[in-house]
Amino acid sequence: MSPSINAPTNVVTAQRPANALIWDVFCHVVDNLGDIGVCWRLCADLAERGQSVRLWIDEPGALHWMAPGALEGRMDGVQVLYWTDPLAPDLLAHLVPADVWIETFGCHPPPEVQAHRATAIAAGGTLPVWVNLEYMSAEAYVERSHRLPSLVSSGPLRGMGQWFFYPGFTQATGGLLRETDLAARQTSFNAAAWLVAQGLACAARPRASLFCYEPAALPALLQQAGQDHPSDWLVTTGRATDAVNAAQAQGLQMGQTNLHHLPRLTQRDYDHLLWACDLNFVRGEDSLVRALWAGKPLVWHIYPQHDDAHHAKLEAFLDWLQAPDSLRAFHRIWNGITPAHNVWPGWDVVDSWRACVLAARARLLAQPDLTSQLLEFVAEKR
């Protein structure tokens, strides 16, 4: 049974601002936290800036807890459409043609959508600005490939132009997602009050958030951290919890490490978690960006690829970050690139990582964000 999805005739047709465009954002879920996380933040940010957005998604269930109210149509300016195969009968007949198509992470818009638009174009309709929003990377090819044109090679829209758009960390890329009110929200955030509201003690000891896959170094990390200093480890629901439970089942000795298992967090509360901690273990793409905005020491568990292509991607990020040797070494251990018996570097070393993260954050804040760049790019191409 499909999740409850808001009806296809609401937000994008009523009382749109004069300068608003209709955006179709297509999301094919591979990792149901990473892809959907990035896409929802983009949709919400576009809507906050007065745009009308339709999120086409094939596995929308995570939005129930990630963005409560999204599936029921309670997010002003964003409409969620269930991308089934085939699409629901007559769905397209009720939709106003979009001005912009955002194809995320190499997915292709549903064939019915493409055929429907081809028919409309043949009858005199307009072309959408078709943007292929790619994966984020600090590798050199991103600057070379950003904003390059391409032609659709097959299907009913064959020969139509589209554009590559690459998120990234430098002025020559598409930037990173950053809401216009982010700085104000961080300034007003009360970590102690938020922790208490989550049922967590605000103790005078270090806190780490743990959002990861299944790193081989995890048991040694927790055990060695427990020998260093009393600390609280806030474990996110899902694969991180499963990995911790597996380590405990093998007789892990926790020492002074206090584990706290968290419920599912909304995207807003995940940001709060990062702001409330002294060290953030993150994974994939969306949480890395949020950890950079948090400005706290971070460790990135990059999505592993079978051909080890993620090794070069990780090294490129660490180069951009200007990571000190101790942070580079820990990343390589955490990502299984180099083995190590001594995993945990100590809280004093962790604290020394803060300077490079804050410097990187300052560089990013001096650059335009992803949504602003997309808006400018689309206006240029229209």
| Domains of the chain with CATH codes | 11-175+368-381 (3.40.50), 182-365 (3.40.50.2000)
Q: How confident is the model at residue 120 (pLDDT cuts 50, 70, 90)?
A: very high
* Omega within 30 of 0 (cis) for the link into 206: no
| Pair 131, 53: CB distance under 8 Å | no
The pTM assigned to this predicted structure is 0.95
Give pLDDT, residue 32: 62
Checking if the pLDDT of 129 tops 80, the result is yes
Q: What is the mean pLDDT of residues 149-167?
A: 96
Give pLDDT, residue 146: 98
Checking if the pLDDT of 325 tops 50, the result is yes
Q: How confident is the model at residue 6 (pLDDT cuts 50, 70, 90)?
A: low
Q: How confident is the model at residue 5 (pLDDT cuts 50, 70, 90)?
A: low
pLDDT in tens, 366-376: 999 999 999 99
Checking if the pLDDT of 10 tops 50, the result is no
**DSSP sequence for 134-153:** -----SHHHHHHTT-EEE--
Measuring CA to CA, which residue among 234, 239, 281, 238 is closest to residue 262?
A: 234
Checking if the pLDDT of 8 tops 90, the result is no
Work out whether the CA dihedral 58, 138, 278, 335 comes out positive or negative: positive
Q: Which residue did the predictor score with more confidence, 221 or 201?
A: 221
Q: What is the mean pLDDT of residues 262-285?
A: 97
Q: What is the mean pLDDT of residues 328-344?
A: 95
Q: What is the mean pLDDT of residues 169-184?
A: 98
Checking if the pLDDT of 72 tops 50, the result is yes
Tokens of 45: 């940010």
The residues that are catalytic are 35, 285
Average pLDDT, the chain: 94
Q: What is the mean pLDDT of residues 37-54?
A: 97
Checking if the pLDDT of 79 tops 70, the result is yes
Give pLDDT, residue 15: 58
Express as a percent the part of the chain with pLDDT over 70. 95
Q: What is the mean pLDDT of residues 8-34?
A: 74
Which residue do the tokens 């405990």 mark? 248
**DSSP sequence for 202-233:** --SS-EEEE--S--TTHHHHHHHHHHHS-EEE
